[in-house]
Amino acid sequence: MPVRFVPDEKDEAVARAELLLMLRKRGIRDTRILRAFEQVPRDLFVTADFHDLAWADQALPIACGQTISQPAVVATATVALDLAPGHSVLEIGAGSGYQAAILGHLAGRVVAVERFRTLARAAAERMKKLGLSNVEVLVADGSNGYPARGPYDRILISAAIEEVPPALFDQLLPGGVLVAPVGPHDGTQMLTRFERTPEGIVRRDLLPVRFVPLLPGVASVL
């Protein structure tokens, strides 16, 4: 008889522990960050088809042709943001809401914008389910940030961008940090950290990545 893989609670506990081990192996020691990854149930953010891979360190497809980022990449971006409990954070490209939920555990307030209404609604539902009342998911084009809720201590662009528009740096408080995958839409981008210092913007390369592109406007197909 063929054996079918049915994930049960024990498998999930093992997969969750493996994810945390992977983060430790990558040098992540900050207990607040590790705890955030432990507390955000990634299986809640993926479709039923991918439940058995929910805790694996890989990007997975979500609705609207988009993807939930790989946990290792979410972790690198999160570490680079250097978050404090009082921070106000903007995420551009909420997608499933997974990264926004991680940010919600580490910052004071998170505004996550998404151009697909379907994704934004589902992400907002997940925040509600998880009791993350400090994370607000909005349907909006974040190409030029979201000045209405700014300025921000931290900005994370979760979609590939060829160049960071100056309008985004304008929404960053002095001493603020912006992280974004910078590079061509159809290739590899460099996850890049920008810090607003008194001497100007200080730029540091973090990790080669592949993100879906940042597209202009709110999606017409919702």
Kindly list the catalytic residues: 69
CB of 194 within 8 A of CB of 176?
no
Interface residue with ligand SAH among 99, 171, 189, 192 (CB under 6 A) is 99
Stretch that binds ligand SAH, among 9-17, 32-40, 169-177, 207-215 (CB under 6 A): 207-215
**Tokens describing residue 146:** 């979201």
- Nearest approach in angstroms of CB 58 to ligand SAH is 13
Interface residue with ligand SAH among 40, 72, 95, 177 (CB under 6 A) is 95
Stretch that binds ligand SAH, among 1-9, 91-99, 166-174, 178-186 (CB under 6 A): 91-99
Residues 37, 28: Cα–Cα separation, whole Å: 11
Residues 42, 199: Cα–Cα separation, whole Å: 39
Residues 102, 142: Cα–Cα separation, whole Å: 20
Is the Cβ of residue 28 or residue 46 nearer to ligand SAH in the bound state? 46
Stretch that binds ligand SAH, among 8-16, 21-29, 64-72, 183-191 (CB under 6 A): 64-72
Residues 136, 123: Cα–Cα separation, whole Å: 9
- Nearest approach in angstroms of CB 92 to ligand SAH is 5
Is the Cβ of residue 93 or residue 183 nearer to ligand SAH in the bound state? 93
Residue 214 is a binding residue for ligand SAH (CB under 6 A): yes
CB of 89 within 8 A of CB of 110?
yes
CB of 7 within 8 A of CB of 50?
no
CB of 153 within 8 A of CB of 195?
no
**Tokens describing residue 48:** 């039923």
**Tokens describing residue 187:** 């290739």
Interface residue with ligand SAH among 88, 143, 171, 189 (CB under 6 A) is 143
Binding site for ligand SAH (CB under 6 A): 66-69, 92-96, 98-99, 113-116, 119, 141-143, 158-159, 212, 214-216
